[in-house]
Structure 1
Amino acid sequence: MLRFKRSLLSLIFVIAGSNILLAQKDSGFTLESPNSEIHLEVKIGEEITWSVTNNSQQVISPSRIAMTLEQGEELGSRPEVRDSEKEEINTTIDAINYKKDVIEDNYNQLTLKFKKNFGLIFRAYDTGVAYRFTTSRNRDLTIVSEEVNFNFPEDHMVYIPYANDPANDVYQISFENRYEHIPLSEIVKDTVAFAPVLVELPNGMKAAITEADLESYPGMFLKSGDKDFALKGEFAGYPLEEEQGGHNGLQSFVTKRADYIAKTSGSRSFPWRILIISNEDKELLNNDMVYKLASAPRIENTSWIEPGKVAWDWWNDWNISGVDFPAGINTETYKYYTDFAVEHGIENILLDEGWAPRGEILNTIPAIDLDEIIDYAGSKGVGVWLWSGYLPLAQNMDEALATYSEMGVKGLKVDFMNRDDQKMVNFYYELSRKAAEHKLMLDFHGSYKPTGLQRTYPNVVNFEGVRGLENVKWSNTDFPLYDTRVPYIRMLAGPMDYTPGAMKNANNANFRAINSAPMSQGTRVHQLALYVLYEAPFNMLADNPTNYMDEPESTEFIAAVPTTFDETVALDGKVGEYAAIARRKEDTWYVGAITNWNSRDLEIDLSFLPEGNYEAVIFKDGINANREATDYKREVIDVKSGEQLNVHLANGGGWAARIYPAQ
């Protein structure tokens, strides 16, 4: 039985077809959000345009919508409306493995049907707007291009991550980069960026651009638009020729692309184009639009899907100590990881790259006895996950899924896709469907941003597409700055395989990028808080068991934080400066706050707590954390609903708490 339910009464206003058939030029339609603050206007003339205001402030100026098919047919050129319909929808979604268990799904919808058998659907939520094309044709379609425009009225500042492709194909990237904070007018011409991007508007307002329900279609990049202060969509051409290459030959590089972006069914709905709007920055920390706009679950029985944490090997370079066997990619090491997981309540271990011969997936290296590892872990209630590069898995998908499912593997971490053209998007859906048939979970690393696939196939429990902690092994990126930007931008799209958990922590002056003995930038408590702040149904403990066992208080806190929640409350925050979130699992609350390299004092409002007496286990930056980033203080205090806690965050610091009813 599907956990998704849609029991609703829709109030439908149908405008008589005779009144709108062959609509005259310059006709228009309006749609407003349920709270009447956001207004969307659609103009039908020689072309179709859309515009948006929020609280009477212009967000999007009239922007053209069109789609070009083969032989030059353009949907949106001299359009003729055949029918229209408005609906008011107020229902709920039962979320699966999410940051809340129930989502209020309240929006107004406008459906326009045009001659030539195509349509547009517009939705207005209290948190933004979205639109999508539909077609109803008997034959398959070739989509040459789609025109997606976001014209802004002024030269606003934008947070934008360039693709920065080092090779020949700009569309083949890892989807992880810093955010440039620049005026729209200074976006480098003829350079693409990947969504989400975030635009600063007057009066503290923000507008974020992304997409949802991306299926059998390429992902949307963004570039400087044709008008001043504009962004427009850009799409990768369909791959015609590919060659093996990249890291250990695990990738497939496109060497020739078609002059079209997709070949697809003639009767379908296309991806949603989303504009998320916030009046305060903190609203971006708890937004559900991508999940709401995704297709409903296609898995009836989800009881076998068990998100959780994983003891991870690769980031720490297998550097355990105090043992009587050589640490590394071998059976003894993974049995040791299993024992660590059991002792600390960690649900899974992961065999990352190296357990299989280079470029293979159906064999193991001599030092790995996979049956023994799976049997040992299984006897102790610990799940085993396997890492795989994209190409070996794509070439051996059916055999690999059947083999490892039968052996008792719990899930696969799939890496180095590094594309989102239509062919690669199809791979995501095919793998998700087939993995579900074998009761295997998936973590997409080396991936494009989530677009709601985790709702459609709940066995997909995480995505990378983020400049995660692995980058500290080789980069001097300003991570506390990035850490305080990404929850307002990338996390709008969905969960992030950021892989936190460093026990070696450094301030700005002391940090060094070291591959085999890595450290984090910022304080210990900054790392602890990320387990609360960042959405990740499948979340890794990046450091090695030895370091965690040397830090039992920190490890106990990390292990106790769930990876999915029943409720989320955005407490406070400002993009690029700080963020604070509270999340509830059953009757226990978890709170996380982080700052950039600037120390600051925050007031944590405990009004989210129900009435009653509570006990709080608190981790805060130590008095010397600015000098020695591992310095922290743990304390246990009594708290009540409505209290205000004054907390201090050191440079690159954090604050974390577990709050539960007092006994």
Structure 2
Amino acid sequence: MNIVNKKWVAILLIAAPLWGYAQKVVELKDPSGKVSVNVTISNEIIYSVSHEGDIMVGASPISMTLADGTVFGKEPRLRKKRIKTINQTIYPPIYKKKSIKDHYNELTLDFKGGYSLIFRAYEDGAAYRFVSNLKKPFLVESEQAVFNLPDNPKIFAATPKGRQVDGKENQYHSSFQNTYQHVSLAEWDKSRLAFLPVLTEGKGGKKLCITEADLLNYPGMFLKVSSDDKGLYGDFAAYPKDVSVEVRGLKGVVKTREPYIAKVEGKTAFPWRVMVITEEDADLLCNDMVYKLATPVIEGDFSWVKPGKVAWDWWNDWNIYNVDFRAGVNTETYKYYIDFASKYGIEYVILDEGWAVAGPADLMQVVPEIDLKELIRYAADKKVDLILWAGYRAFDLDMDRVCKHYAAMGIKGFKIDFMDRDDQYMIDFNRRCAETGAKYKLLIDLHGTSKPTGLQRTYPNTINFEGVHGLEELKWAQPGTDQVTYDVTMPFIRMVAGSVDYTQGAMNNVNKENFKAIYSEPMSQGTRCRQLAHYVVFDSPLNMLCDAPTNYMKEEECTKFIAAIPTVWDETKVLNGKIGEYLAVARQKDGIWYIGALTNWDARDMELDLSFLGQDVKRIEIFEDGINADRVGKDYKRKIMSLPVDKRLKIHMAPGGGFVIKTLK
């Protein structure tokens, strides 16, 4: 597969012995000259990042301490520096656009002691990583990653809902699902971690989004606010030592940890520390930096990977009705889901938790109520594929055997859940899932996990990630939970890292006053059109239809529309957006454009300039909030209309509303 087509690569190498401790300053600019990285080398290594003269990250030290006392970055001796310029085009097999421009300048600093630092400068940000050139394995005790921020800025950050471990909250045990706080550095609770990405505000409305990329065998980074309120610094879960088994044998809980954060096999490239910089909020909605920094696709043909929609059972609690059998985790119920998927051209049905015998953590034991061979045969006849859910520990215990067995039976993928940590062991587990899935041509949906960091580029069969406060949270939401505001905040932050397993598609839609959490018959906040727009706005190559098939069949007009929306795209354009308030995104596949828009709890009239559609587009289909949608969230209006001559269109959104447009041939 030809993933990268290089237009041209100009490489300038500068190499000279630079011994001693005298202060040296090295500057790296991106090809446009907008972003500048300054690296000062004295008795430590300090970097800063600016955008057109505005300091985005002030002078910040970086280092890495090994368990034997060696410190990468302490009294560094620079041996040589190398600078190169890369200008190429990446062609992702599965993504929100067909091609990605990858243009950057790269600075490599080689130091005595067997390590290097690599910096990259892009027009929309910067990144750095440590590289070990040591030949022998070693332990990383800690990493110093600092992001000093000028003028006590406000941040958008989410803190983990830590699990209870031995009666105390442990923030390293988290589902990475929480809403954002918007506070100044000084207002942040310094006892709390923040999980990535974190968004900070800069001068003139500029934004800095901090995350990481190419995290394959190293703990994920959290951030904490420094005691002097001057910035953020990295915090990492130590390597697990004693792990107890909980939740029906499906989840591991770390009781004690080692005095180090990572085991390293000598020569290693560590994760990129990523700083995305934008002048406009809307530019965050279509950023590619994490994907660009990830390890390119491994060798092999991934043309078998099939994105698509999934008829999902768990959110709606298997609550189908008007049938003559008892609904639940059984063969009859799943045949009903398969029939529904087949009727509407939905590619997959998932068998979520319950299909395997609870307790033994043995995925080879199927509950007697399910005839899995029959379901696979029945689904194949209906041109529908099946995906199985798995708790992480059960999958980890026998990964290769499980994948080989079910792939041979005809299963097409696994949705893996309950990881709930991002220490080194769990990050490596995610990678092994991707690798083993690729071996047996299985899709991998990493559900109960942290944010993506580019694994979807390295293993394109790793098709989706949770790490998002998705619709499932409304099944048990506490009073005050504001999913509507989250929906117009998350795409500017979490989605910078990659796709989201948000699981949208509710048909029971209510306003703020009427919402309540009901586990078995859940509802969404906001309008019906908001749920439709989610399928365009959110990046999800494997996209769930969360509600019950019976409910969808009662709402056939909306269901047919949802089922036809692609899940991967040839082109993505951002039309409008302000974090926490509103957004509008346009996506194109095979010449058909879809436009999705969302607002917060404020009613809003949005005017769109659709001139980018060109002269060939004459008619459009619109689903918009109904005149009474502020009272009854299910109220919507569908219409087909001619596109105005001036290509400008104004659409009203109710509080918590949205709209979606499709161009017609």
Task: Give the TM-score band, short-chain normalised.
Answer: over 0.9
Q: How many residues align?
A: 657
Correspondence for 2:434:
432
1:10 aligns with 2:9: yes
Instruction: Indicate conservation of the 8 Å contact 1:569/1:608, yes or no.
Output: no
Matches within 5 A, 1:119-138: 119-138=116-135
Correspondence for 2:469:
467
1:243 aligns with 2:244: yes
| Counterpart AA for 2:405 | T
What is the CA–CA distance in structure 2 between the aligned matches of 1:309 and 1:582, rounded to whole Å? Answer: 19
Partner residue of 1:378 out of 374, 377, 380: 380
Matches within 5 A, 1:309-324: 309-324=309-324
Q: Secondary structure at the match of 1:10?
A: strand
Partner residue of 2:107 out of 105, 110, 117: 110
Correspondence for 1:498:
502
Deviates more, 1:178-187 or 1:610-619: 610-619
1:278 aligns with 2:278: yes
Correspondence for 1:225:
226
Correspondence for 2:65:
68
Please state how far the C-alpha of 1:226 moved relative to its aligned partner.
Answer: 5.0
Correspondence for 1:396:
398
Instruction: Indicate conservation of the 8 Å contact 2:21/2:43, yes or no.
Output: no
1:48 aligns with 2:31: no
1:555 aligns with 2:559: yes
Matches within 5 A, 1:143-542: 143-168=140-165, 169-225=170-226, 227-245=228-246, 247-358=247-358, 359-475=361-477, 476=479, 477-542=481-546
| Counterpart AA for 2:67 | E
Instruction: Indicate conservation of the 8 Å contact 1:609/1:641, yes or no.
Output: no
Matches within 5 A, 1:630-645: 630-639=634-643, 643-645=647-649
Instruction: Indicate conservation of the 8 Å contact 1:299/1:436, yes or no.
Output: no
1:256-306 Cα distance to aligned partner (Å, 9 max, x none): 101111111211211000001110000000000000000011141112110
What is the CA–CA distance in structure 2 between the aligned matches of 1:632 and 1:652, rounded to whole Å? Answer: 13
Please state how far the C-alpha of 1:38 moved relative to its aligned partner.
Answer: 1.2
Please state how far the C-alpha of 1:462 moved relative to its aligned partner.
Answer: 0.4
What is the CA–CA distance in structure 1 between the aligned matches of 2:387 and 2:76, rounded to whole Å? Answer: 52
What is the CA–CA distance in structure 1 between the aligned matches of 2:510 and 2:255, rounded to whole Å? Answer: 42
1:573-630 Cα distance to aligned partner (Å, 9 max, x none): 1111111100000100011000111111111111321332332110000000001110
What is the CA–CA distance in structure 2 between the aligned matches of 1:426 and 1:333, rounded to whole Å? Answer: 36
Q: Name the CA shift for 1:63/1:226 in 2 (closer, same or farther; >3 Å).
A: farther
Instruction: Indicate conservation of the 8 Å contact 2:488/2:581, yes or no.
Output: yes
What is the CA–CA distance in structure 1 between the aligned matches of 2:244 and 2:300, rounded to whole Å? Answer: 38
| Counterpart AA for 2:459 | Y
Instruction: Indicate conservation of the 8 Å contact 2:5/2:91, yes or no.
Output: no
What is the CA–CA distance in structure 1 between the aligned matches of 2:620 and 2:306, rounded to whole Å? Answer: 27
Instruction: Indicate conservation of the 8 Å contact 2:249/2:394, yes or no.
Output: no
What is the CA–CA distance in structure 2 between the aligned matches of 1:8 and 1:86, rounded to whole Å? Answer: 19
What is the CA–CA distance in structure 2 between the aligned matches of 1:35 and 1:23, rounded to whole Å? Answer: 33
Instruction: Indicate conservation of the 8 Å contact 2:62/2:73, yes or no.
Output: yes
Please state how far the C-alpha of 1:321 moved relative to its aligned partner.
Answer: 1.2
Please state how far the C-alpha of 1:47 moved relative to its aligned partner.
Answer: 0.7
| Counterpart AA for 2:12 | F
Q: Secondary structure at the match of 2:229?
A: coil
Please state how far the C-alpha of 1:78 moved relative to its aligned partner.
Answer: 1.0
| Counterpart AA for 2:471 | L
| Counterpart AA for 1:187 | W
Please state how far the C-alpha of 1:31 moved relative to its aligned partner.
Answer: 1.1
Q: Secondary structure at the match of 1:195?
A: strand
Please state how far the C-alpha of 1:374 moved relative to its aligned partner.
Answer: 0.5
Please state how far the C-alpha of 1:24 moved relative to its aligned partner.
Answer: 4.8
Please state how far the C-alpha of 1:86 moved relative to its aligned partner.
Answer: 1.1
Please state how far the C-alpha of 1:640 moved relative to its aligned partner.
Answer: 6.5
Please state how far the C-alpha of 1:523 moved relative to its aligned partner.
Answer: 0.2
Please state how far the C-alpha of 1:189 moved relative to its aligned partner.
Answer: 1.5
What is the CA–CA distance in structure 1 between the aligned matches of 2:555 and 2:604, rounded to whole Å? Answer: 26
Please state how far the C-alpha of 1:435 moved relative to its aligned partner.
Answer: 1.2
Q: Name the CA shift for 1:329/1:659 in 2 (closer, same or farther; >3 Å).
A: same
Correspondence for 2:24:
27
Q: Secondary structure at the match of 2:441?
A: coil
What is the CA–CA distance in structure 2 between the aligned matches of 1:249 and 1:657, rounded to whole Å? Answer: 46
Please state how far the C-alpha of 1:431 moved relative to its aligned partner.
Answer: 1.6
What is the CA–CA distance in structure 2 between the aligned matches of 1:166 and 1:266, rounded to whole Å? Answer: 34
Partner residue of 2:95 out of 60, 82, 98: 98
Correspondence for 2:574:
570
1:475-513 Cα distance to aligned partner (Å, 9 max, x none): 041000011110000000100000000000000011111
1:231-253 Cα distance to aligned partner (Å, 9 max, x none): 000111011111101x3331101
Deviates more, 1:35-44 or 1:4-13: 4-13
1:379-415 Cα distance to aligned partner (Å, 9 max, x none): 1110000101111111121221111011100100000
Instruction: Indicate conservation of the 8 Å contact 2:6/2:87, yes or no.
Output: no
Instruction: Indicate conservation of the 8 Å contact 2:617/2:663, yes or no.
Output: no
| Counterpart AA for 1:618 | I
Deviates more, 1:182-191 or 1:81-90: 182-191
Q: Secondary structure at the match of 1:107?
A: strand
What is the CA–CA distance in structure 1 between the aligned matches of 2:248 and 2:28, rounded to whole Å? Answer: 52
Q: Secondary structure at the match of 1:167?
A: strand
Please state how far the C-alpha of 1:227 moved relative to its aligned partner.
Answer: 4.4
What is the CA–CA distance in structure 2 between the aligned matches of 1:423 and 1:16, rounded to whole Å? Answer: 38
Unaligned 5+ segments in structure 1 are none
What is the CA–CA distance in structure 1 between the aligned matches of 2:95 and 2:619, rounded to whole Å? Answer: 26
Deviates more, 1:461-470 or 1:318-327: 318-327
Q: Secondary structure at the match of 2:393?
A: helix
What is the CA–CA distance in structure 2 between the aligned matches of 1:252 and 1:154, rounded to whole Å? Answer: 42
Matches within 5 A, 1:640-655: 643-655=647-659
What is the CA–CA distance in structure 2 between the aligned matches of 1:659 and 1:444, rounded to whole Å? Answer: 33
TM-score, normalised on structure 2?
A: 0.97
Q: Could you list the runs of 4 or more consecutive aligned residues of structure 1 that deviate by over 6 angstroms after TM superposition?
A: none
1:434-492 Cα distance to aligned partner (Å, 9 max, x none): 11111111101111110000110011110000010001111041000011110000000
What is the CA–CA distance in structure 2 between the aligned matches of 1:299 and 1:648, rounded to whole Å? Answer: 49
TM-score, normalised on structure 1?
A: 0.97
1:157-202 Cα distance to aligned partner (Å, 9 max, x none): 0011111313233211101111111101122123211100101112
Please state how far the C-alpha of 1:32 moved relative to its aligned partner.
Answer: 1.2
Deviates more, 1:630-639 or 1:183-192: 183-192
Please state how far the C-alpha of 1:14 moved relative to its aligned partner.
Answer: 2.4
Deviates more, 1:165-174 or 1:410-419: 165-174
1:545 aligns with 2:544: no
Instruction: Indicate conservation of the 8 Å contact 1:587/1:660, yes or no.
Output: no
Instruction: Indicate conservation of the 8 Å contact 1:610/1:641, yes or no.
Output: no
Q: Name the CA shift for 1:640/1:36 in 2 (closer, same or farther; >3 Å).
A: farther
Q: Name the CA shift for 1:556/1:128 in 2 (closer, same or farther; >3 Å).
A: same
